[in-house]
Amino acid sequence: MRQVPQSDAPLFVELFAGRGALSKAALQAGFRVVSIDHEVVQPFAPMVVLDLTTESGTHILWEVLQSPGLAAVHLGLPCGTSSRARELPIPKALRQAGVPEPPPLRSAQYPLGLPNLAPHHQRRVDSANKLYRLAIQVLVWCHMHGITISIENPANSWLWAALVALALEHSEQAAVALGKLQMVLFHACCHGSTRRKHTGWLSTPGVFDALNATCQNDHAHEPWGVKRQAGTWIFDTSSEAQYPFLLAQRAVACLVTFLTGKGWNLDRPLRLHDKSTAVQGKQTKKHRPLVPEYHRVVA
């Protein structure tokens, strides 16, 4: 049985991290963090740039996953090829303005890719499937080693069907590991988003239950649309891939509650302000005393 470290902070690994809002919240909660994505655009937390479709990228990833003290892994898998938004028609006026009409690339019958796709679409599907296969391998690893895992995507994404197909393709162990996970559903607007995005958070049972939320339509929502930016058309579905800070903070709070219940130690890191006041010989009640006031306390 894996021994829970009593001194070092637990390690949180976020894959396909986007700008790393979840990693930032984990750092603030006292985790050691490794945040990974294939590109870095104004990240909120330190980021490791890795192409996880390559052998060299996955080699480095497995070295990270074998690090001592690994407690949790989160995968915000890319959903571009699995998006059901591809099945929605683009209004005629927008098509005439030059807005592209992305075709469906997957279906219930073909979750790993429709037959006879155009070559450039097939390459995108193949690349995504490499990442989905990697997700199954990571899931099996976490299942074998008692590591908390979570996978996020839109609730109606074809990703979920693709993971089932790939787990069955991988092994009986993978199918069992996937089947043991719990799907938590929520509308992202209940956790800080401006849009009513229905989200699925597939995870170790009992960890993220508090994220369950259904929008009651008692607040305003931004509409879904498309805009011209830097010479290209950007769909609002892509911008919603970034986690709101409120969602990140609540997800990490769930993780903290679960892991501390399992015996992990988590201490929030000192802020720069706290460190500066410590240099002046001052202490704050918000953190453990630098020098204990009493040798011991007797009830």
> Using CA atoms, how far apart are residues 253 and 76, in angstroms rounded to an integer?
18
Whether domain 11-272 has CATH 2.60.120.310: no
Tell me what the mean pLDDT of segment 220-226 comes to. 73
Tokens describing residue 292: 């204990």
> Mean of the pLDDT values across residues 148-157?
97
Position 86 pLDDT exceeds 90: no
- Mean pLDDT, residues 214-230: 78
Where exactly are the structural domains of the chain? Answer: 11-272
pLDDT digits (tens, 9 = 90+) for 108-142: 999 999 999 999 999 999 999 999 999 999 999 99
Q: What is the mean pLDDT of residues 261-268?
A: 88
Q: Given this model, what pLDDT does residue 294 score?
A: 55
Say which range, 36-45, 58-67, 247-256, 263-272, has the weakest mean pLDDT. 263-272
User: What is the structure's pLDDT at 4?
Assistant: 42
E strands along the chain, which residues?
A: 11-15, 32-37, 48-49, 70-75, 148-154, 182-187, 198-203, 226-229, 232-235
Q: How confident is the model at residue 278 (pLDDT cuts 50, 70, 90)?
A: very low
| Residues 266-278, mean pLDDT to the nearest whole number | 59
Q: What is the mean pLDDT of the chain?
A: 87
Of 39-43, 204-208, 226-230, 241-245, minimum mean pLDDT range: 226-230
**What pTM was estimated for this model as a whole?**
0.84
| pLDDT at residue number 229 | 67
Q: Which residue has the higher pLDDT, 292 or 61?
A: 61
The predicted pLDDT at position 95 comes to 73
Between 183 and 282, the higher pLDDT residue? 183
Look at residues 195, 175, 198 and name the one whose alpha carbon lies nearest to residue 187: 198
DSSP calls for 244-291 = PHHHHHHHHHHHHHHHHHTT----PPPPHHHHHHHHTT---TTS--SS
Q: Are 150 and 207 in contact (CB under 8 A)?
A: yes
Q: 3-class DSSP state for residue 136?
A: helix
Residue with tokens 């479709």: 53
CA–CA separation, 268 vs 96, rounded Å? 54
Q: What value does the mean pLDDT take over residues 197-205?
A: 97
Strand runs labelled E in 17-109:
32-37, 48-49, 70-75
